């Protein structure tokens, strides 16, 4: 039984529903098979394929069916009437909803400890999906959903994600076909890594784009603002490519940015993807494990091989 609409995005609506037999609440993502995606990037220099909507949603379903992790939203069922223009994806209901990371006055809404815990959950889930051969391509605060008790978050919305079995495991293999696929833009420009913004194709596009987006996300969670902003998309790409990272003043955000935090953000937002920190290194970073009594136990739980 459909109760109400709880979300709306570029590719469809999300509705809250209840299983009449069990009483369980679920989220149903209603996706139009014929939807299209808008083009991003430097015009013809950065390609954006107008893929068929049905192919895109079936790719999202296939990706979610591979994921069984405490920090990834779970797909429960797919309802696909071939005579219909829509596909219904039944997902676990994340009752806590989206993370509120800034106030109406554009100030940070979270404490440093809250931001750190959210980031740890993100790193754990992201490392898992990368191990499965999946690149999310749209990591951002609005795609992190709270559980009912607001004690943990899960990665959601795999609508523009990419999967290739050659990327699975600890040693991803990027061949020419994969590189060509990943040149097609997807995601949210404010969270684009520099390698997505360069018209000269300065760097290969790899899983490192998700690490950059995780860095932008952490910055947002901590400071209530994005690290790189501009009036237009073209200007934004120039800023991402060329502007050094700046940390807000303590008076502005209510806390002093520690040296460890500056170090972590600088490594996450390293413009050269070959020098950017890896998720395995993130899990050992002093700021990430600062308040953990048993960091090694957390790293064991966050090991993607466990799931």
Residue 304 has pLDDT above 90, yes or no: yes
Q: Which is catalytic among the residues 32, 80, 105, 138?
A: 138
Query: What domains appear along the chain, each with residue ranges and CATH number?
Result: 2-306 (1.10.510.10)
Instruction: Enter the pTM of the model.
Output: 0.91
Sign of the CA dihedral 230, 235, 240, 244?
negative
Catalytic residue status for 138: yes
3-state secondary structure 145-203: EECCCCCCEEECCCCCCEECHHHCCCCCCCCHHHHHHHCCCCCCHHHCCHHHHCCCCCC
Residues 6+ away with beta carbon under 8 Å from 242 = none
Q: How far apart are CA 12 and CA 212, in angstroms?
A: 26
The dihedral region occupied by 150, where left means phi > 0, alpha psi between -120 and 50, and beta the remainder, is: left
pLDDT level of residue 179 (50, 70, 90 thresholds): confident
More confidently predicted of 85 and 165: 165
Q: How far apart are CA 13 and CA 32, in angstroms?
A: 9
Is residue 90 classed exposed, middle or buried when 0-12, 13-18 and 19+ CB atoms within 10 A define those classes?
A: middle
Check: CB of residue 122 under 8 Å from CB of residue 109: no
User: Between helices 259-268 and 208-223, what is the axis angle to 10°?
Assistant: 140
Q: How does pLDDT run across 206-265, given as a tens digit for each residue? A: 999 999 999 999 999 999 999 999 999 999 999 999 999 999 999 999 999 999 999 999
Check: CB of residue 137 under 8 Å from CB of residue 210: yes
Nearest to 266 by CA among 276, 252, 255: 276
The whole-number average pLDDT for the span 43-55 is 53
- CA torsion 240-242-244-247 (nearest 10°) is -30
Q: How far is CA 117 from CA 13, 37, 221, in A?
A: 29, 33, 11
Mark the binding-site residues for ATP, compressed into ranges.
29
Mark the binding-site residues, compressed into ranges.
29
Of 1-10, 18-27, 68-77, 145-154, the least confident? 1-10
């Amino acid at each position: 039984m459909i109760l109400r609409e709880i979300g709306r995005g570029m590719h469809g609506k999300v509705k809250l529903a209840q299983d009449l037999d069990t009483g369980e609440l679920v989220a149903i993502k209603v996706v139009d098979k014929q939807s299209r995606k808008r083009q991003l990037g430097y015009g013809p220099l950065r390609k954006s394929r107008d893929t068929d909507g049905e192919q895109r949603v079936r790719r999202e379903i296939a990706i979610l069916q591979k994921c069984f992790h405490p920090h990834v939203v779970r797909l429960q069922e797919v309802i696909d009437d071939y005579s219909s223009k829509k596909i219904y994806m039944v997902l676990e209901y994340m009752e806590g909803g989206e993370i509120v990371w800034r106030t109406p006055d554009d100030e940070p809404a979270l404490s440093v400890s809250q931001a750190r815990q959210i980031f740890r959950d993100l790193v754990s889930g992201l490392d898992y999906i990368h191990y499965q051969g999946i690149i999310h391509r749209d990591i951002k605060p609005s795609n992190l959903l709270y559980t009912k008790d607001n004690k943990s978050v899960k990665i959601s919305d795999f609508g523009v994600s990419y999967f290739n079995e050659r990327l699975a495991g600890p040693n991803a293999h990027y061949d020419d076909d994969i590189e060509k696929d990943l040149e097609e833009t997807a995601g949210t420009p404010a969270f684009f890594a520099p390698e997505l913004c360069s018209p000269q194709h300065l760097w290969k596009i790899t899983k490192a784009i998700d690490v950059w987006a995780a860095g932008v996300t952490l910055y947002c969670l901590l400071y209530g603002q994005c690290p790189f902003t501009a009036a237009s998309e073209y200007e934004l790409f120039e800023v991402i490519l060329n502007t050094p990272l700046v940390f807000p003043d303590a008076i502005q955000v209510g806390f002093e940015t520690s040296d460890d935090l500056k170090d972590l953000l600088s490594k996450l937002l390293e413009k050269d993807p070959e020098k950017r920190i890896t998720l395995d290194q993130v899990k050992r970073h002093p700021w990430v494990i600062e308040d953990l009594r048993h960091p090694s136990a957390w790293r064991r739980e966050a090991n993607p091989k466990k799931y």
